[in-house]
Amino acid sequence: MRVNCLNCNKVFDIPDERLPMGKKIAFPCPACKGTIELDLTSKSAINSEFRSKKKQNDRPTGQVLKKKILRNVKDLPPMPQTVLKAREIMANPKSDFKELANLFETDQAIAAKILKLANSPYYGYSGKVTSIQRASLVLGHKTLGELITMGGTASLLSKSLVGYGLDAGALWKHSLAVAFGSRIIAKKTEPSLSNDAFTSGLIHDSGKLILDSYIQERWELFEEFMADGEHTFLDAEKKVLELDHTEVASEVCKTWNIPKPLTVAIRYHHHPSRSNGSKLAYIVHVADAIAMMTGLGLGIDGTLYQMDDKAMEFLGIQEDDMNEIMGKVLEAAQNISEQ
């Protein structure tokens, strides 16, 4: 008998011979520990299955669901204005450091997070970076840019995503791994893309923040679709929710004012060959595969990752490079995520 926990929506198959038919029973849900109550007097048992199906049918599907999900993108916290302004100031060669210092005076929370990250063992200046100005002097302009982007997204990307099997902090670790991996690959293949590669890598999976609750609600449909072992989790997103996390992420990018080339890279990070030759999309794709190989922040969707077989050739990356990049990525993501 299929039993649906009305608390967490997970579905379990319990062999009929283990159920005391004709009785009412209650037991803790193996997933959420909430109580599942079953009325197994014959008619009610049929009713309870019917009820769970009805509940399923009440949920929007198709285009209605797609529109609902896209409306939800607007509910995501905006990329902090401080981060957007800081990136603008840093991109302007005429701007001086005072402008940046004034900006962070007004947002102490992000300034504190940036300093914490700057003092992580990865940069080798633990405890010595005491101000944004010092961070710029000691670590350099480019690294400060990275720290600002990380400081602005850390709390959002650190949330737990139950539908994806990610505990609190797991998506953050994965995002850091892809950001650093992308920057390293860009440096090897197209150095001018390094900064954009870092930002794209950091927010490439932001669509998951939106889809997570919909996956939890429809978990049984995901399990059903993936039962034959032939479909990836990405296929299941598209099949069940009408949208995958890359399409949602490109909408997130619009609300966050992320430049077009980065949005394209994020949209096609699982299928770079559809990006019309975006090198950035190939970079984030390979970095994503490397991040999966490190095992850091691995969720449900990491086990069946499909890497484009032309990607390494497209970027001119060899097998040996992959191992070297993986080592560097592990070091960076582990050291920084501890902050």
| Interacting residue ranges for Fe ion, rule: CB under 5 A | 205, 288
Closest approach of Cβ 270 to Fe ion, in Å?
Answer: 6
Closest approach of Cβ 198 to Fe ion, in Å?
Answer: 15
Q: Are 255 and 249 in contact (CB under 8 A)?
A: no
* Beta bridge partners of residue 2, listed in sequence order: 13
What value, to the nearest 5°, has the Cα angle with vertex 263 and ends 261 and 267? 120
What value, to the nearest 5°, has the Cα angle with vertex 201 and ends 200 and 205? 95
Closest approach of Cβ 301 to Fe ion, in Å?
Answer: 7
107 versus 288: smaller Cβ distance to Fe ion: 288
C-alpha torsion 232→200→276→237, nearest 10: 20
Closest approach of Cβ 97 to Fe ion, in Å?
Answer: 34
Closest approach of Cβ 205 to Fe ion, in Å?
Answer: 4
196 versus 288: smaller Cβ distance to Fe ion: 288
Q: Residue 26, SS3?
A: strand
**Which parts of the chain fold into alpha helices (H)?**
42-58, 62-73, 81-91, 97-105, 108-118, 132-139, 141-157, 170-189, 194-203, 207-217, 219-226, 233-241, 245-255, 260-267, 279-294, 311-315, 319-337
52 versus 175: smaller Cβ distance to Fe ion: 175
53 versus 274: smaller Cβ distance to Fe ion: 274
Closest approach of Cβ 65 to Fe ion, in Å?
Answer: 20
86 versus 281: smaller Cβ distance to Fe ion: 281
Q: Residue 298, SS3?
A: coil
44 versus 273: smaller Cβ distance to Fe ion: 273
Closest approach of Cβ 245 to Fe ion, in Å?
Answer: 6
3 versus 289: smaller Cβ distance to Fe ion: 289
Give the largest CA-CA distance in the chain. Answer: 80
146 versus 205: smaller Cβ distance to Fe ion: 205
Comparing CA positions, the residue from 303, 273, 308, 257 lying closest to residue 287 is 308
For 249-266, give the secondary structure using H, E and C. HHHHHHHCCCCHHHHHHH
What value, to the nearest 5°, has the Cα angle with vertex 278 and ends 277 and 284? 130
